[in-house]
Chain A
């Protein structure tokens, strides 16, 4: 394998992952007690798949899923937020180097590592990159885009923190633990 950073598995994960990301964008669950806010399933899924398949797959899913999804759903692409989705995908994926998910390990330490990564990248993405790009590209007023980014960011950090962690934990339970076989007496 020459180009290891873009293996066949990564390409397929990016392709199918982006398809699921696009479908999940249609399904949002109203929180109920906070009006007009929904749980974004797409980013919860992005967290899982990026942690399993790494930063390249995560970034590609964010990029393809968000841009193609925008085009298919709305007929326009909001590039400033596409960039953030790609960035967030890479950020989630970077956590995978520090986790041992394939051997079913996802204890408190792993949860802390994953959440540190997701909080930092999403904070940078939604609080900083998205508003700044909105100002540069679309010339939108600063206070409006920062408020928008702040609300979106907080929501995503909380939902990924709770449900993303939960989903990854469920995934880790399906993996066979290393050394789980015992010799019969």
Chain B
């Protein structure tokens, strides 16, 4: 099992200095904009700003390239699937049809389709730099504090904190159990047949799950003994107060949101249509 996960990357950039809460707010608003609009200009601005912010964060491409490769493959497959299922979706949306390359049946390639798929691709990709940066530039221990800061109940924020805390633990248990079972002769190679493979997986997964269920009992008893959740509020060690940079980042994001909504209202459609 190759567990490739994004994790915090220590740097001293302006993006790292922003508080987790500000980054979370920006990420959520950014997602809202990208999900609501289909305006090519807004999406293009988002993509460019995203790339600039990525540059500012001093994170190198190769540090996150495994994720980017995956996203690019996903987007490519998604585009192919859209074309296979609905090759004339663009024509339906934009109302015109400029054939670039005639193909049999309904598969003629139109400018409208190309433009529509370009929009979808940017739409998916526009949020990526922000989601990615939020993960790699925010300290995990600040994450829960940020959630609480933006109004999520601290009990739920604490659940998220527990998740981040226990991912490495669960991973380690997995490796320990897998090695123990291999020592007992369980064959984990890909050669085995499906039924056998399921049984082998079970010989690792079941101990993993059951030991984790025990851990839930232990941890919740420990928290109960420490009177977790008896008060309405709690403080966080990693909480920081907002600085000018935080207000600036949130301000820019809100401005973009307002601009996007304004364009949407003015046009009365989510789509920017260059064909009219």
CB of A179 closer than 8 Å to a CB of B: no
A72 to B190, CA, bound (A): 26
Which chain B residues lie closer than 8 Å to A6 at the CB level? 153, 155-156
One of B64, B81, B194 near A31 (C-beta < 8 A)? B194
Query: Of A13-21, A88-96, A115-123, which binds chain B?
Result: A13-21
CB of B193 closer than 8 Å to a CB of A: yes
**CB-based contact B124/A12 at 8 Å:** no
**CB-based contact B131/A75 at 8 Å:** yes
One of A17, A41, A72 near B205 (C-beta < 8 A)? A41
A52 to B128, CA, bound (A): 35
Q: A75-B68, A144-B85 are in contact. Are A26 and B159 (CB under 8 A)?
A: no
**CB-based contact A20/B229 at 8 Å:** no
Q: A79-B35, A137-B35 are in contact. Are A13 and B216 (CB under 8 A)?
A: yes
Which chain A residues lie closer than 8 Å to B205 at the CB level? 24, 27, 41, 45
CB of A138 closer than 8 Å to a CB of B: yes
**CB-based contact A64/B159 at 8 Å:** yes
Q: A23-B174, A74-B70, A141-B86 are in contact. Are A11 and B156 (CB under 8 A)?
A: yes
A74 to B219, CA, bound (A): 30
Which chain A residues lie closer than 8 Å to B270 at the CB level? 139
Which chain B residues lie closer than 8 Å to A3 at the CB level? 155, 229
A17 to B124, CA, bound (A): 28
| Residue interface mask B158-180, A partner, CB < 8 A = 1 | 11111111110111001000000
**CB-based contact B131/A76 at 8 Å:** yes
B77 to chain A, nearest CB (A): 11
**CB-based contact A11/B67 at 8 Å:** no
Which chain B residues lie closer than 8 Å to A111 at the CB level? none
**CB-based contact B1/A26 at 8 Å:** yes
Query: Of B10-18, B94-102, B206-214, B257-265, which binds chain A?
Result: B206-214
CB of A39 closer than 8 Å to a CB of B: yes
> Which partner residue on chain B sits nearest A33 by CB separation?
B194
**CB-based contact B194/A23 at 8 Å:** no
**CB-based contact A32/B194 at 8 Å:** yes
One of B3, B84, B219 near A16 (C-beta < 8 A)? B219
* 13 sample A-B contacts, Cβ–Cβ < 8 Å, listed by A number: A8-B228, A14-B163, A17-B216, A20-B170, A22-B167, A23-B167, A30-B194, A49-B213, A71-B131, A76-B132, A139-B270, A140-B120, A144-B82
